[in-house]
Amino acid sequence: MRNGEIIERIPFPSPNPGVELSLLTIWSSGFKVKGFLAEPKGEEKLDGFLYLRGGIKGVGMVRPARIAQFADRGFIVFAPFYRGNRGGEGNEDFAGEDREDAFSGVELLRHHPRVNNQRVHAFGFSRGGIMALQVGVEYSSITSIVTWGGVSDMILTYEEREDLRRMLKRVIGGSPNKNPEAYRYRTPLYELEKLHAPVLIIHGAKDTNVSIEHAYRLEERLKKLNKPVKTLYFEEFNHVFPPADNRIMVKELCSWMNNQNRQEHLQGE
């Protein structure tokens, strides 16, 4: 069975009358994984949008209204819950092997009959920022990447978030001192040479969940490698933006995505 292949599709109540929502079970490297698919009504070809959630387990779970918001901007959106969640098989391991669920999401969108020329964008919020970068490293064909309040360095996360250390030790297998390779494996900063897609970084300076240092380190590394990057930093915002500002940002990032022509960034590939 092919990664990203749909095993089961169940209609799900949509918060937007112009968007059809489905609860999918897909195949992902040996596991049945759940996720939401949001499709604007109609037959026109659209770009694919891989929505990579933050959090772990029930914290930060995908909200139908959120992915419908992006679908309403003209994208075919798939949002995996990650393995082990909502009846899915396997165990989530915080950007470790569960990155395969993001890769399977790319495959699902690339094979979707309405996705335009296999154009797929990766969007990651919080922990999903790591996953989006991992997608860009794995797929040179990804069209663009957005990381919003995104993690970029797992060792920095361990150092900053004392409240998460117990969970990180359990899921990853110890602390960075005990198991440094496991944290490095989850930190795409070390593999950005393989990334070709343009990157948009969105971050609030007052973010106490994921410090803006994550954004600075990502920006610095991308610029050092001469990779295309745009930053939108906001001095007044924390991890979650106010609703009105959130809507403005969704409109802006979707416009930026639609304007990306990846061929402009592949000279010499």
Query: Annotated active-site positions, please?
Result: 126, 239
On whether residue 68 sits in a domain, the answer given is: yes
Instruction: For residue 52, give the CATH number of its domain.
Output: 3.40.50.1820
The count of structural domains within the chain is: 1
Stretch 35-57: mean pLDDT, rounded?
Answer: 96
pLDDT score for 145: 98
Between the CA of residue 16 and those of 13, 39, 47, 60, what are the distances in Å?
Answer: 9, 10, 19, 21
pLDDT score for 136: 97
On whether residue 199 sits in a domain, the answer given is: yes
pLDDT score for 260: 87
Provide CB contacts within 8 A for 161, sequence distance 6+: 168, 209
Q: How far is 107 from 92, CA to CA, in rounded Å? A: 20
pLDDT score for 266: 42
Stretch 105-121: mean pLDDT, rounded?
Answer: 95
Rg (CA), the chain: 17
On whether residue 266 sits in a domain, the answer given is: no
On whether residue 1 sits in a domain, the answer given is: no
Host domain of residue 10: 6-260
Q: How far is 81 from 88, CA to CA, in rounded Å? A: 8
How many separate helices (H) and strands (E) can be counted in the chain? 8, 9
What is the pLDDT confidence band of residue 263, given thresholds at 50, 70 and 90?
very low
On whether residue 267 sits in a domain, the answer given is: no
Question: Of the candidates 62, 55, 57, which has an alpha carbon nearest to the alpha carbon of residue 23?
Answer: 62
pTM of the model: 0.95
On whether residue 93 sits in a domain, the answer given is: yes
Using one digit for the tens of pLDDT, what is the confidence trace for 116-148? Answer: 988 999 999 999 999 999 999 999 999 999 999
Q: How far is 108 from 159, CA to CA, in rounded Å? A: 36
Using one digit for the tens of pLDDT, what is the confidence trace for 49-62? Answer: 999 999 998 889 99
Question: Of the candidates 221, 199, 88, which has an alpha carbon nearest to the alpha carbon of residue 135?
Answer: 199
On whether residue 138 sits in a domain, the answer given is: yes
How are beta strands 199-204 and 31-40 bridged, if at all?
unpaired
Q: Quote the percentage of the chain above a pLDDT of 70.
A: 97
